[in-house]
A and B are shown apart, each in its own frame.
Chain A
Amino acid sequence: MEMFFGFLKAFAVGGALCAVAQVLIDKTRLTPARILVAYVCAGVLLQAMGLYGRLVDFAGAGASVPLTGFGYVLAKGVEKAVDSMGVIGILTGGLTGAAAGIAAAMVFGFIAALIAPSRPK
């Protein structure tokens, strides 16, 4: 039963974050690329305010899978790095926290581009 609610919360929170983005795309001049940038920055901001971690605790993948979750990982990485290494953590923390996601996208992306046939323009 707890698992059922876990799925439900992930569905509802993740869906809601996507719905907000859809309204922004349809009602403003925000392009998809700007939405992604805005969501990552929003994730950093919300964690800076101490909020996003709570949403992750509540909704699990519903909060960590949307791109705001990527921002959260960046901010969380900075917190950890500063706590353990001091000032230098300002620079190292973000990318360290997000390293797995970034490296996966780059490596998988490269392999896909290597294998996929060129698309006619």
Chain B
Amino acid sequence: MTNAQYKKYADERAATSPVLKNTVKAFLIGGVICALGQGLLYLYMWAGAEKQTASTLVSVTLVGASVILTALDIYDSIAKFGGAGTLVPITGFANAVVSPAIDNKAEGYVLGVGAKLFTIAGPVILYGTLASVIYGVIYVIKSMVLGIV
């Protein structure tokens, strides 16, 4: 193997192998969190909740669990391994809400906790709501054309 070939080989390994490894880890951890959510969904439905209520309760439970694990500094340790697998589930959103709030507690309850709670939640809620309003306009127009509203 020539130097140039080796360099190409090494670059390829360096570029692809961590990505693949990270992706597999994200898949596994994210999958486990969602499977846990599915278990909670079955539990709440078994307890008599309607499907949609049960689904909301699952979100609330996962948010609560994530907040506790974040406060105990455990969630970040899982996140180091799971990457996007811990980011994309709603637990990751909850983690991103609480973490900066705790970190900036020293700045006080208004501009510290109160403002920093929305470091990630702010943009997520803003753009999510914006997208939903745009969809709402389209949905109303569509309904009018179809003569429903």
Q: Which residues of A contact B (CB under 8 A)?
A: 3, 6-7, 10-19, 21-27, 32-33, 35-37, 39-41, 43-45, 47-48, 56, 59-62, 64-67, 69-71, 74-75, 77-79, 81-83, 86-87, 89-91, 93-95, 98, 100-102, 104-106, 108-116, 118-119, 121
Contact = CB atoms under 8 A, between A and B. Distances in A.
Interface of B: 18-19, 22-42, 55-56, 58-60, 62-64, 67-68, 70-71, 83-85, 87-94, 96-98, 101-103, 105-106, 113, 117, 120-121, 123-125, 127-129, 131-133, 135-140, 143, 148-149
Contacts of B148: 83
B37 A40 contact: no
Contacts of B67: 105, 108-109, 111-112
Contacts of B68: 112
Contact of B84 (A19, A33, A115): A19
B26 A21 contact: yes
Given A6-B42, A61-B38, A118-B106, A14 B30 contact: yes
Given A65-B59, A101-B59, A119 B102 contact: yes
B72 to A, nearest CB: 9
A113 B71 CA distance: 8
Given A15-B28, A90-B140, A23 B19 contact: yes
